[in-house]
Amino acid sequence: MAAQLPDYVTSTKPVPKDKRTPWYASTAPTYAGIFLWFVFWHQVPLLKELTPGSGIPLTAGGALSQGLGIALLALIVSALICHYLFYLVPGKLGVQTGLPLYVVGTSTYGVLGGFIMPGFLMGVLQFGWLAVNAFFTTGLLCAPFGAGPGTLTFTVVGIAFVILATLVGLKGIQYVGKIATYLPLLPLFILVVLTFASVGGLSKFDHKKLVGAPAAASENAPAGGEQKAEATSAASAKQMPDLSVWGVFMAICAYVVGFFATAGAAGVDFGMGNRDENDVKWGGLVGIAGAIILTGGLALIIAAGTVGAGLAGQPAVLQPTKLMENLAPVLGEKAPAVFWYLLAIAAFPPACFSSFIAANSFKTTLPKVNPFVSCGIGALASIALVLSGYAGNAANVFTVIGASFGPVCGAMAADYILAGNRWAGPRAGFNPAGWVSWVAGFIVGAVDLLLGTSYVPCPPVAAFIVGFVLYAILALAGLESELLPMPKEGE
């Protein structure tokens, strides 16, 4: 039986116990760095933009349409869902086995299927991450010159950013890693400064006035020529009606969980470096749930405070990176440009890590293909997403990511529970229970985006539930492929 195991499974050795680290030195700070990345928190108050680069929410009031308290509560619920549903089981599988995701995933998808899911899929989706990063970071780099999406400046900078991040990820990631530990402090500092600059307006914030504001061009819009035209164009567009309380919960949850989905499955890779399950638990509660509530919560407070102070314009700009200009009278004239560039610097390592993760995934799943070729194709796809503007619709990109990895996390959780809260071991070929549950879960998670409808509440969570339930039903019906024994140490 052992001969049926491919080399990528048999050659992988568990991380030794004496090489593992506590949660506060590994899992928590690494995950926290993900949520300190400005691309996550600057979209929380608006969720979806009215027009790309405007900073104005598609729905009147965005995440704040039912008040700051409701938005914060929805954020807390979303943070707990990320920790308990999407991260905890992968983290426990990692600490129990000491093995990486592409090996642990063979229990759910089979030793042949595991090559594709979640290994290859994880690599492919990294270029979606790279595209989103490139789009918004390019926007910050070009903002001082008034060059928005569609301009020559934006196009050149966006292409250069993707190419440089891909090349560094392939060949120079060790140099980026040396400074990446400290760069998340820059976004944290900026969030704190913006909070102090806007908190005075919280007492005057009224969500009813926010959603009832006339859709006229803002007097507080950026003064730059192209940016002013961009803001005026956005202001003339018609916003959708404000969200209900249920709508706010579903929209925030879909955004946050969709953003986190791939990182949740990667909890296996974090867990294999932890000492025990207590490390897994605290690493997630602090680094995931705590970081989501901190960064997303401050972004909501900044947006609400700026609106309350009458500095957000009409219709209100709710994106904190855009509001830096509106807060310039408080921050100082040069502060917005300085903050934009500091955030752009802090965003470069995550872009490099995306291409690095993709390269490792492709090396494992496509060993005969030169990584420069596979990652080059991925980089071209990222550039296409940036230049088309699709990468600027972060909420839709996160919906695709959530639809892809929601059923992965759900099926892994079902497999873990059915095996007695442990890793069952590698399965032969393509495990039908895993693949059928993934296809069904992906369809449920992506159907609204594909059809332009809104039938499925919180698609990433719905995809998780479908993956979990369907895997359990199929497994109990005997539709799991046979288990293959792992070789014992020394064999």
Concatenate the DSSP letters of all residues of 355-390 into one string: HHHHHHHHHHH-TTS-HHHHHHHHHHHHHHHHHHSG
Q: Which two tokens stand for residue 348?
A: 């470069």
pLDDT of 202: 96
Name the band, by pLDDT with cuts 50, 70 and 90, for residue 367.
confident
Q: Report angle CA 201, 245, 69 to the nearest 5 degrees.
A: 35
What are the pLDDT digits (tens) for 137-163?
A: 999 999 998 888 889 999 999 999 999
pLDDT digits (tens, 9 = 90+) for 26-78: 899 989 988 999 999 999 999 999 887 789 999 999 999 999 999 999 999 99
**Closest CA relative to residue 327, chosen from 227, 187, 195, 139:** 195
Q: Is the CATH number of domain 19-393 1.10.10?
A: no
> How far is Cα 15 from Cα 2, in angstroms, rounded to an integer?
21
Query: Which residue type is seen at 146?
Result: G
Cα torsion angle, 323, 329, 331, 336, sign = positive
pLDDT at residue 443, rounded to an integer: 97
Model confidence at 489, in pLDDT bands (50, 70, 90)? low
> In whole numbers, what is the pLDDT of the chain averaged over residues?
89
pLDDT of residue 365: 73
Span 342-364, pLDDT tens digits: 999 999 988 888 888 888 788 77
Q: Is the peptide bond before 315 cis (omega within 30 degrees of 0)?
A: yes
| pLDDT score of 255 | 96
Both tokens assigned to 320: 């904190």
Is it the case that residue 223 has pLDDT exceeding 50?
no
Check whether 235 has a pLDDT greater than 70.
Answer: no
Lowest mean pLDDT among 172-186, 197-211, 234-248: 172-186
Of residues 473 and 374, more confidently modeled: 473
> What pLDDT is attached to residue 2?
47
pLDDT of residue 207: 94
Q: What phi and psi values does residue 57 have, to the nearest 5 degrees?
A: -70, 150
The pLDDT of 262-284, averaged and rounded, is 93
Residue the block writes with tokens 């071209």: 380
pLDDT higher than 50, residue 218: no
pLDDT the model gives residue 227 = 45
**Per-residue model confidence (pLDDT) at position 394:** 87
- Percent helix / strand / coil, the chain, rounded to 5: 70, 0, 25
Higher pLDDT, 229 or 116: 116
Residue 316 has pLDDT above 90, yes or no: yes
Band of residue 314 on the pLDDT scale cut at 50, 70, 90: confident
How confident is the model at residue 170, as a pLDDT? 84
**Cis omega (within 30 of 0) for bond into 460:** no
Confidence class of residue 220 from pLDDT cuts 50, 70 and 90?
very low
* CA quadruple 88, 93, 98, 99: dihedral sign: negative
